[in-house]
Amino acid sequence: MRKKTVIFFELTDYSLLRFPKKISDEYAKNDPEVQFVFIYLYKYSKETVDFISFPKSAYFVNLKGNISGVDAVFLGFPDSIVFIFALRPPEFYLINTSKKLGIDSILLQHGVFIPFMRRNLNFFIKEARKMVFYFKSILSLSSKTKSSPLTCFSEVFSIYILGNKNLGQSIFSNALNVLPGKVYVYSEYWKDYFMTNYGFSSNQFSCIGSPDLEAYGSIINQEKEDAVCYICQTLVEDGRLSKKDFDEFLLAMYNSLEPEQALYLKLHPRSKHELYDQVTKRERTYLIKEKTPNCIKYIGHYSTLVSLALNITGDVFLWEFKNHKIPEYFSNATAFIDNTEDGLRKFIQDKKKTPALREILKYYFHHPGLKPFEEIYKLTEK
C-alpha cells in the first residue's frame, strides 16, 4: 500500500515556512505514515531557509523557475493531494496539470484581500527575477492550452497590472480549468467573496477560521501592558506605498507618544528593519518578530493581524493612507480610522476603554478558539 502524500506549492522556499509547514506539522502529529513534498518555484534571495524543522518524511523540490517541472513531480506521486495558497500564473499551470492527472487540489485562503492597488515602477524593477519566472509560467501554461501566449499575457496584464478585470472574468477561470477543487476560507463572508471574484461554486467551500486568531487565547492570558503596538505591513517593501508617505506616518506616531509610553513594532516576516530607524531611536521602543503582545492599544492599516488586535480590544487605530481605503471587514469593527497626527495623538492619549465588537468580527473571521490547521487535517482526512 502506497503512503499518503501531501504536496505543497509556493513561489519561494521562504514561503514554505508559513502555512505549508504548519499544515504538515499537524499531519505528522496525527499520521506518522504520511509523506510530504514541498515544491517551490525559486529560492528566496534575501534569506537562507533551513529545512531542518520540517517533518522528516519530506522531499523538497526546487523548480528553478520552470513551473513545467511539476509534471514530473506529480507523475512520481499520483496518489496525493496538493495545497496552494494563491491564484497566480504558476498556480494556474499547476492546477491545470493536477486536474489532468486526477490529483485533488485545495486552495487555502492565505490572507485578506483588498481592492486593486497599483504598485510603483521600482517594485517591478526590484522584482525583475520574479517577473521573469511569472512570464515563463505564462508561456508554459499557454503551451498546454488552446490560448496563445499573447492572449495569456494580455489577461495577466489586465488582472494584475491594470486591475480592470478579475480572475472570474478571465480565460484562466472560464476556459482553462485552473480553479482548484476545494477552497478553505475564514468564514461565510470570504466564501461569497471567492464565489463572486473567482467563479467557484458554493459546494466547494469549507470555513475553517483565520489562522491569525489561533494565538488569541495565549495572548489574552498574558498580563495586559500599558503600551502601544504597531502592526507592521510590507506596504513599502511591496511597492504599494512610497517611503515618503510611510515616513510621514511614522513621524506622526513618534510625535503622538509620551516619552514613558512603550511602543512595540510587531514586524512582518518580510519587514525591512531600516524603515523604522527614525522610530527605534526613541527609548522604550521594541522590535518583535514572534508573539503579539497584549497591549491596551494597537495601530495598523489592513494587515491580517489587525483581526487579532480587534478581537483583543476595540482600541485599534487604523491609519488610512491616500488611495488605501480601509476594507469593510476592518472599518466596521473600529471607530478609530484617520490619517492625521491630531487624531492619532488623541487616540493614544485617551484613557477610555473600548470593547471589542466580536460579533461583527465573527462574520468576517469566524471566532477565536478555532484551530484552523486541525480543521484542515480533519477535512482532508474525510
State phi, psi for 181 to the nearest 5 degrees: -75, -35
Give, to the nearest 10 degrees, the angle between helix 128-143 and helix 149-156: 130
In angstroms, the Cα distances linking 157 to 67, 91, 119, 123 are 19, 16, 13, 16
- pLDDT value of position 132: 74
- pLDDT value of position 94: 93
How is residue 120 annotated by DSSP?
A: P
How far apart (Å, rounded) are the C-alpha atoms in residues 147 and 12? Answer: 27
State phi, psi for 329 to the nearest 5 degrees: -70, -15
- pLDDT value of position 1: 35
C-alpha cell at position 69: 517541472
State phi, psi for 334 to the nearest 5 degrees: -150, 150
Are the beta carbons of 133 and 40 closer than 8 angstroms? no
In angstroms, the Cα distances linking 35 to 2, 122, 316 are 10, 41, 42
- pLDDT value of position 270: 86
353 CB neighbour count, 10 Å cutoff: 10
All CATH 3.40.50.2000 domain ranges of the chain, comma separated, are 5-210+369-381, 214-365
- pLDDT value of position 57: 84
Is residue 371 classed exposed, middle or buried when 0-12, 13-18 and 19+ CB atoms within 10 A define those classes? middle
C-alpha cell at position 150: 499573447
Q: Which of 70, 59, 180, 46 is nearest to 136 (CA)?
A: 70
pTM: 0.86
Instruction: Enumerate residue ranges in the chain where pLDDT < 70.
Output: 1-3, 45-46, 114-131, 144-146, 159-176
How far apart (Å, rounded) are the C-alpha atoms in residues 76 and 141? Answer: 21
Checking 24-29 for CB contacts under 8 A at 24+ apart, the result is 24/54, 24/55, 24/58, 25/55, 25/373, 26/373, 26/374, 26/376, 26/377, 27/55, 27/377, 28/55, 28/57
* CATH architecture group of domain 5-210+369-381: 3-Layer(aba) Sandwich (3.40)
Q: Which CATH superfamily is domain 214-365 in?
A: Glycogen Phosphorylase B; (3.40.50.2000)
Is residue 93 classed exposed, middle or buried when 0-12, 13-18 and 19+ CB atoms within 10 A define those classes? buried
- pLDDT value of position 239: 84
Sign of the dihedral defined by the CA atoms of residues 294, 328, 208, 16, in that order? negative
Distance of CA 283 to the CA centre of its chain: 32
C-alpha cell at position 339: 490619517
C-alpha cell at position 240: 504599494
How far apart (Å, rounded) are the C-alpha atoms in residues 310 and 14? Answer: 28
Q: Which of 278, 324, 323 is nearest to 301 (CA)?
A: 324
- pLDDT value of position 225: 92
SS3 321: coil
- pLDDT value of position 69: 93
How far apart (Å, rounded) are the C-alpha atoms in residues 73 and 63? Answer: 10
- pLDDT value of position 115: 58
